[in-house]
C-alpha cells in the first residue's frame, strides 16, 4: 500500500512539474524518462533473468544514432517512426551479439557485453565520415503526432509538448514491461534466475529464454536512447562508453533491481542527485563512488527495496 501511494504521488508530481516547477528542473528530469525506459530493459536482463550487462549503453547509443541519421540525413522526423526504427536497429544488432553472449553467464557474460560496447564506441569514434567522430551527429527536433513544432522556443518545446509526450512513452513502456514480466515468459525468466538447472529440467529452454530477454532489453534500450538525445540535440560517442554503462548499473542498484519500478526510481534519483552533487563539488565522481559503496553495503535492495518485503524464491 505504501509503495502504491508513493508511486501515485510521484506520478502526480511529474505531471505537475512543468506547471509548478522551474524550467530548469523540468528539463533536468527529461533524461530520466529515456533512462527509465532503457533500465526497464536492463532490469529484465538482470533483475529477472540474472544476467548483468556491462555494455547496455551500446543500445542507447544505437537508438541515439539512429535518430540522428534519420532526422538529419533521411528527413524522417516523426517521433512515432523514430522509436520503432531505433528499436528495430537495436534488435538487429542484439541478435548476433546475444547469440554469442547468452552462451556464457556471470562475469563472462558481463565482459562480453562490455567488449561489444567498446567495439561500437571505437566504431563511432573512428568512422568520422559516417558517425561524425568525436563531434557526434546533430539530432533535429522531431515532429510530435505529425505536427512540426520548430516555431516553438526550445525551452517551451521541452517543458511542454515533449515533456508530456516522453512521460506518456515512459508510462507505455512501464505497462508493456509489466505485461512481459507478469506473463508465463516472465515467470520462466525468474525460474532461470533462481536455478537454471532446475528450470531446464522442467522443460525451459534456458538459452533461448535468455536470448529473447537480451533482445527485449536491447529494444527498450534503443527506445530509451531516442528520448535521451532529443533534449540535447546531439548523438555523442560517449553514449556507448563503458562509464555510461556503469552509470546504468549504478541507477539500477540505486533504485533496486528486485522492485519492478526500481529502475525508473533509480534513474530519477540519479539525475537529481548528480545535479545536486555537481553543483557543490568538482569531485562528484568520488562522492558517487562513496554513495554506491553505501548502497551496496547497507541498502543492497535499493531505495524501493526498503518499502517492499524480500522476494521469495520460485524454485
Coil, helix or strand for 229? helix
The number of beta carbons lying within 10 Å of the beta carbon of residue 172 is: 12
Per-residue pLDDT of 212-245, as tens digits, reads 999 999 999 999 999 999 999 899 999 998 888 9
- Mean pLDDT of all residues in the chain? 87
- pLDDT band for 315, please (50, 70, 90 cuts): very low
Residues 6+ apart with CB under 8 A from 196: 50, 105, 206
CA 309 vs. chain centroid, Å, equals 25
Output DSSP code: residue 234.
Answer: E
Reported as a pLDDT band with limits 50, 70 and 90, residue 311 is low
Report phi then psi at 229, rounded to 5: -95, -15
In the three-class reduction of DSSP (H, G, I as helix; E, B as strand; rest coil), residue 248 is classed as helix
* Per-residue model confidence as pLDDT tens digits over 177-226: 999 999 999 999 999 988 888 888 888 888 999 999 999 999 999 999 99
Which residue do the cell numbers 562475469 mark? 107
* Sign of the alpha-carbon torsion through 257, 259, 264, 268: negative
Global pTM value:
0.91
| Distance separating alpha carbons of residues 139 and 68, to the nearest angstrom | 5
Looking at residue 313, its pLDDT comes to 47
Distance CA 144, CA 36 (A): 20
Exposure of 67 in the CB half-sphere (CA atoms within 13 A): 34
Instruction: Give the three-class secondary structure for 137.
Output: strand
pLDDT over 80 (residue 52): yes
Amino acid at each position: 500500500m505504501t509503495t502504491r501511494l508513493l508511486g501515485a504521488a510521484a506520478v502526480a508530481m511529474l505531471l505537475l512539474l512543468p506547471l509548478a516547477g522551474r524550467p530548469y528542473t523540468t528539463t533536468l528530469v527529461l533524461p530520466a524518462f529515456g533512462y527509465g525506459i532503457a533500465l526497464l530493459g536492463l532490469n529484465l536482463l538482470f533483475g529477472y533473468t540474472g544476467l548483468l550487462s556491462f555494455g547496455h549503453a551500446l543500445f542507447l547509443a544505437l537508438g541515439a544514432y539512429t535518430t540522428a541519421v534519420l532526422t538529419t540525413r533521411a528527413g524522417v522526423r516523426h517521433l512515432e517512426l523514430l522509436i520503432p526504427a531505433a528499436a528495430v536497429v537495436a534488435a538487429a544488432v542484439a541478435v548476433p551479439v546475444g547469440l554469442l553472449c547468452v552462451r556464457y553467464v556471470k562475469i563472462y557474460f558481463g565482459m562480453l557485453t562490455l567488449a561489444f560496447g567498446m567495439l561500437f564506441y571505437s566504431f563511432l569514434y573512428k568512422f568520422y565520415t559516417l558517425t561524425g567522430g568525436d563531434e557526434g551527429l546533430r539530432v533535429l527536433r522531431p515532429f510530435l503526432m505529425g505536427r512540426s513544432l520548430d516555431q516553438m522556443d526550445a525551452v517551451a518545446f521541452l517543458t511542454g509538448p515533449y515533456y508530456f509526450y516522453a512521460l506518456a512513452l515512459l508510462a507505455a513502456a512501464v505497462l508493456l514491461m509489466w505485461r512481459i514480466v507478469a506473463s508465463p515468459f516472465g515467470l520462466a525468466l525468474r525460474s532461470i534466475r533462481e536455478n537454471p538447472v532446475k528450470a531446464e529440467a522442467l522443460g525451459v529452454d534456458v538459452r533461448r529464454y535468455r536470448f529473447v530477454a537480451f533482445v527485449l532489453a536491447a529494444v527498450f534500450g534503443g527506445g530509451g536512447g531516442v528520448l535521451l538525445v532529443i533534449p540535447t540535440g546531439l548523438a555523442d560517442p560517449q553514449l556507448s562508453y563503458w562509464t555510461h554503462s556503469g552509470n546504468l548499473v549504478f541507477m539500477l542498484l540505486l533504485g533496486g533491481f528486485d522492485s519492478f519500478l526500481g529502475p525508473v526510481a533509480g534513474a530519477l534519483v540519479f539525475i537529481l542527485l548528480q545535479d545536486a552533487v555537481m553543483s557543490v563539488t568538482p569531485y562528484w565522481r568520488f562522492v558517487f563512488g562513496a554513495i554506491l559503496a553505501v548502497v551496496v553495503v547497507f541498502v543492497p535492495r535499493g531505495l524501493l527495496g526498503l518499502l517492499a518485503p524480500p522476494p521469495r524464491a520460485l524454485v
